[in-house]
Amino acid sequence: MTTLVIFLQLLFIIPLALGLNHPNCDLTSTQDQGSTLRIFHIDSPCSPFKSSSPLSWEARVLKTLAQDQARLQYLTSLVAGRSVVPVASGRQMLQSTTYIVKAKIGTPAQSLLLAMDTSSDVAWLPCSGCVGCPSTTAFSPAKSTTFKNVSCSAPQCKQVPNPTCGSRACSFNLTYGSSSIAANLSQDTIRLAADPINAFTFGCVNKVAGGGTVPPPQGLLGLGRGPLSLMSQAQSLYKSTFSYCLPSFRSLAFSGSLRLGPTAQPVRVKYTQLLRNPRRSSLYYVNLVAIRVAKKVVDIPPAAIAFNPTTGAGTIFDSGTVYTRLSKPVYEAVRNEFRKRVKPRTAVVTSLGGFDTCYSGKITVPTITFMFKGVNMTMPADNLMLHSSAGSLSCLAIASSPENVNSVVNVIASMQQQNHRVLIDVPNGRLGLARERCS
């Protein structure tokens, strides 16, 4: 069985002067060979989806906070049972920081960039002839000899929202912000580096209507636990097992890795149990039992962090949210203890958007440890503090969940996961953690 090792070249902080002319940004190159596949940050200089207008540090932080809030609304709608399918994530899911991978679809192969997401179950692509799609690059079914539409009688047709049977093919519609999307459920061969997956099921988007929010231009590759996710469809190849290691934004190389399959996974890993929410079984829940600031275990009511499959309360790991969000009582307890231990004690606390623990000048900060049953995740300053690129402002990069979302969900986000190996082992029902220099 092939193990796919995906090197993350997340160039988020690399100077924009590198641009698309840098040799590492050649998305048409043959560097994706064997079991190695490159992944780029969606906002990196190498990404064709990056913003065309550079933002200041403060503006970028505020924009990311807003995108995180939209994603939290998506995630909490899932655990509350209000969203019937993962495809209906809309802009809320892909608006926040994500990572893109080059995949090859069809026969002969067509190269497309897909956003990877650990909290989504599905794959979908903008297809040629799509009315209203924002992408200039789309998958062309007519050029693939292995493409076929999924029939209405196929079991996959029951796993999408509002299926209809126009032209004997399974079609579906979903709401996307203030827009609507129409797609056909389709199958074709997908190749990730050297690994072909035949008859891979995905949504082929053919129409976007409405004058509101438009879908992101790239497609989506879900790594969740649902029946249409990559992990489920390629179960015989990858055994529902993968790990990833996200590098620090401060790293000059800014490279990390994602490994699919049980082979070549790290040995020195400590595990905690993966929990399953029957309302939304795709999300990767874990049992958070306590939070420690420096050596002090914070006084948090157990009910505030307890897993509750009925309400969806609990803690999840998510690669698409940038900054960790904690429910209000949990966040306030952690924040207050953190402030007590920042040195010098005379440091003045300010705020920036949703971050209410910011400082001007040089400070020394305590570690924060998320304590799970079986393993601890300790985060030093690099995982905790955002530093202004111009000036001396720094902010604690953890915030309270917004008031307008289901605030009982705690989300361990990508910045706090940096330089940790996170291993998802679904067959054995466990999530592994190990400190690792990912660069």
For residue range 245-254, list pLDDT tens digits in order.
Answer: 876 665 544 5
213 and 151 inside one domain:
yes
Highest averaged pLDDT of the listed ranges 76-90, 108-122, 170-184, 421-435: 421-435
Least confident among 244-248, 274-278, 384-388: 244-248
Residue 140 belongs to domain spanning: 84-256
329 and 390 inside one domain:
yes
Residue 96 lies in a domain: yes
133-140 CB contacts, 8 Å cutoff, 24+ apart: 133/205, 133/208, 133/215, 133/217, 134/208, 134/214, 134/215, 134/216, 134/217, 135/217, 135/218, 136/217, 137/112, 137/113, 137/217, 139/105, 139/106, 139/110, 139/112, 139/204, 139/219, 140/106, 140/110
274 and 251 inside one domain:
no
Residues 188/146, Cβ–Cβ less than 8 Å: yes
Q: How many domains does the chain have?
A: 2
CATH classification of the domain holding 413? 2.40.70.10
Residue 35 lies in a domain: no
100 and 157 inside one domain:
yes
For residue range 166-178, list pLDDT tens digits in order.
Answer: 767 899 887 645 5
Residue 164 lies in a domain: yes
Residue 78 lies in a domain: no
Final residue belonging to a domain, choices 236, 256, 276: 256
Residue 61 lies in a domain: no
Is 117 catalytic? The answer is yes
238 and 103 inside one domain:
yes
Residues 86/224, Cβ–Cβ less than 8 Å: yes
Residue 35 is encoded by which pair of tokens? 């079991």
DSSP conformational letter for 292: E
Final residue belonging to a domain, choices 221, 256, 291: 256
Least confident among 210-224, 252-266, 320-334: 210-224
221 and 314 inside one domain:
no
The answer to whether the peptide bond before residue 227 is cis (omega within 30 degrees of 0) is no
133 and 176 inside one domain:
yes
Catalytic member of 32, 117, 188, 425: 117
DSSP 70-129: HHHHHHHHHHTT--S-GGGGTHHHHSS--EEEEEEETTTTEEEEEEEETT---EEEEEEE
Catalytic member of 32, 43, 318, 425: 318
Least confident among 4-8, 19-23, 241-245, 338-342: 4-8
Is 318 catalytic? The answer is yes
CA angle, 41 then 45 then 51, to 5° = 85
